[in-house]
Structure 1
Amino acid sequence: MEDVLTVRRWRRYGADRLYVTRGTGARVGSVDLQSGEVVVDDPLLEGRLRRAAQAYLRADVTELAMTVPAPGVGALDPVDESALQAWLGGDDWDTIDLAAIRGERGSSVRTRLERMADEGWQVVHDVPLGRQGSLVEHLVVGPGGIFTVAERRHAGQHVVVEGRTLRVDGCSTSYLRDARLEAARVRDALLAAACAAVNVRGVVVVQGELEMRTVQPGHDAFAISRQDLQTVFRALPVRLDPARIAAIAHVARQSSTWSH
């Protein structure tokens, strides 16, 4: 017999968790992606929860349904077990190395942005934009201006940016359009919170084989590779002085700014 586990990600109010449910809708448990804490309702299901969480993080999708052996069923036969382990990347199923899976060992977008603090940049993470549960992954305020930053993972895929279009393995995406819309919403919220004459641009940070066919940093939304993130931000012309940066960052950290 087999069971289907569904994994969904929940990111609000600074929290970032995976919730796993069975095909019946019954809750299996959760994984806190910030602390690594695993909470399981039934100890017999912990191994299955960890497998599903690993698969979700590797797949980089919004929701994952994964078929696993039902509780009480014996181990997989050697061929199936080898195939599943190869698909999950060969890791021990009893260990979820979140830092490695999410690329956060000293080289994540969050870490790279925070390293620019000494150069006058301030970052607000997981900004709750509006009442519908939307989150801005990173809001960056610094000498070069104000930016929303979102990461898109396409390891091993060919990503081409040309004009206002971003394609992954030849397929067009809405990444740049979404970044423009998100930046516009952030700008409107800051204006409503009395930050006068602000301009916000969207940045899509790509993990993958990125080919740039257009020079973009002057656009209202642009894409860069993760390894070039700091270089591009440091090369931007100065638009904001330290006092203005501090004032805007202060407003950005107030929950009331984003509750409309």
Structure 2
Amino acid sequence: MTSQNSMRDRVAGHSVMEQVVRLQDAVAPRSAVARAFGVSPLTEEASPWFAGATGEREVGAMLDRLPPGWTVFHAVPVGQGDADIDHLVVGPAGVFAINTKNHRGAKVWVAERAVLVNGAKQPYLRNSELEASRIRHVLAGAGLVAPVHAVVAVVSPASMSVRQQPMRVTVLTAEGLLRWMTHRPRVVDSTTAAAIAELFDRPGTWRPVPSDSSTVDRFDSLAREVRVARWVQKGWILAGALSVVAVVLAVFPR
């Protein structure tokens, strides 16, 4: 276990990947039979964490394409316990505390005071407001001034209905995140933005966290196993469908 010299060393989804690896280390590897039938290597407990890490990595890759003048940090540890901000971005339009939610294929509904996913209310607005408040406190402690935007980025929902945007949190799809950020008006000069980025880059600004350099490699290995298991499952489904067709053709000759 080592500590990073710069917050820029932390990759998107780092904290969540560590949780996935910890959970998977507690279970025995799949048997040869399980692998042959495409049984997922993920435990029931690890599956939502895995989806979360995948979503954060996807959004992280998008944010890393921001133009010059923007600085991106991932998995920033704040507060107590294991809390972190998925992505913290500094640019001409201010500071953005981004909370990524992977709801691929789900129906998302947004109103002034609520976010519902497949009809179930989620605490995303409250959590995002708290994250933005913590960042404002960090800036105030350093004597720096910049607007802090709380953002919830939803990854690939089946649909997203916005009845009314919340007053203090912006909820949007991850696919529209970069365009929304880069089209906002410039409110921070380059000197202030650089000072904020330098503050955020110092590990001493945040809660100390050990970092295992092997986490990403272990997660990537697990992700490959998950992909292979899904391919095997699809192969069995296809084989079953072809068997049914063969039986039908045999029973009902041309």
Question: What's the TM-score, normalizing by structure 2?
Answer: 0.63
CA distance in 1 between counterparts of 2:192 and 2:59 reads 24
Shift of 1:122: 0.6
CA distance in 2 between counterparts of 1:54 and 1:242 reads 46
Shift of 1:28: 3.3
Match of 1:35 in 2: none
CA distance in 2 between counterparts of 1:195 and 1:223 reads 29
Shift of 1:131: 3.8
CA distance in 1 between counterparts of 2:137 and 2:43 reads 38
Match of 1:20 in 2: 23
Contact 2:14 2:75 in 1 (8 A): no
Match of 2:30 in 1: 47
1:213 aligns with one of 139, 157, 163: 163
Match of 2:15 in 1: 11
Match of 2:220 in 1: none
Q: Tell me, which stretches of 5 or more residues in structure 1 are unaligned?
A: 1-8, 22-26, 30-44, 62-97
Query: 1:169 is matched by which residue type in structure 2?
Result: N
Provide closer, same or farther for how the CA distance between residues 215 and 129 of structure 1 changes in structure 2, counting only shifts above 3 A.
Answer: closer
Once the two structures are superposed, residues 181-220 of structure 1 have per-residue CA deviations (whole angstroms, 9 ceiling, x without a partner) of 111012112222x14223322111112121122256xx42
Question: Relative to total residues, which structure has the larger strand share, 1 or 2?
Answer: 1
Question: Relative to total residues, which structure has the larger helix share, 1 or 2?
Answer: 2
Higher relative contact order (CA closer than 8 Å, sequence separation 6+): 2
Match of 1:109 in 2: 59
Once the two structures are superposed, residues 201-249 of structure 1 have per-residue CA deviations (whole angstroms, 9 ceiling, x without a partner) of 2111112121122256xx4211110110111111111111222111101
CA distance in 1 between counterparts of 2:143 and 2:90 reads 13
Contact 1:18 1:53 in 2 (8 A): no
Percent identical among aligned pairs is 28
Shift of 1:15: 5.3
Query: 1:255 is matched by which residue type in structure 2?
Result: P
CA distance in 1 between counterparts of 2:180 and 2:40 reads 37
Once the two structures are superposed, residues 39-75 of structure 1 have per-residue CA deviations (whole angstroms, 9 ceiling, x without a partner) of xxxxxx3226993437556x425xxxxxxxxxxxxxx
Contact 1:148 1:179 in 2 (8 A): yes
Task: Report the secondary structure of 2:40's partner residue.
Answer: helix
1:185 aligns with 2:185: no
Alignment of 1:231-246 (within 5 A): 231-246=179-194
Match of 1:95 in 2: none
Once the two structures are superposed, residues 4-42 of structure 1 have per-residue CA deviations (whole angstroms, 9 ceiling, x without a partner) of xxxxx9828x95652137xxxxx636xxxxxxxxxxxxx
For the pair shown, which has the larger CA radius of gyration, 1 or 2? 2
Structure 1 stretches of 4+ moved >6 Å:
none
CA distance in 2 between counterparts of 1:17 and 1:211 reads 31
Shift of 1:259: 3.3
CA distance in 1 between counterparts of 2:75 and 2:143 reads 20
Shift of 1:250: 0.6
Shift of 1:158: 1.0
1:229 aligns with 2:177: yes
Match of 2:81 in 1: 132
Task: Report the secondary structure of 1:202's partner residue.
Answer: strand
Question: What's the TM-score, normalizing by structure 1?
Answer: 0.62
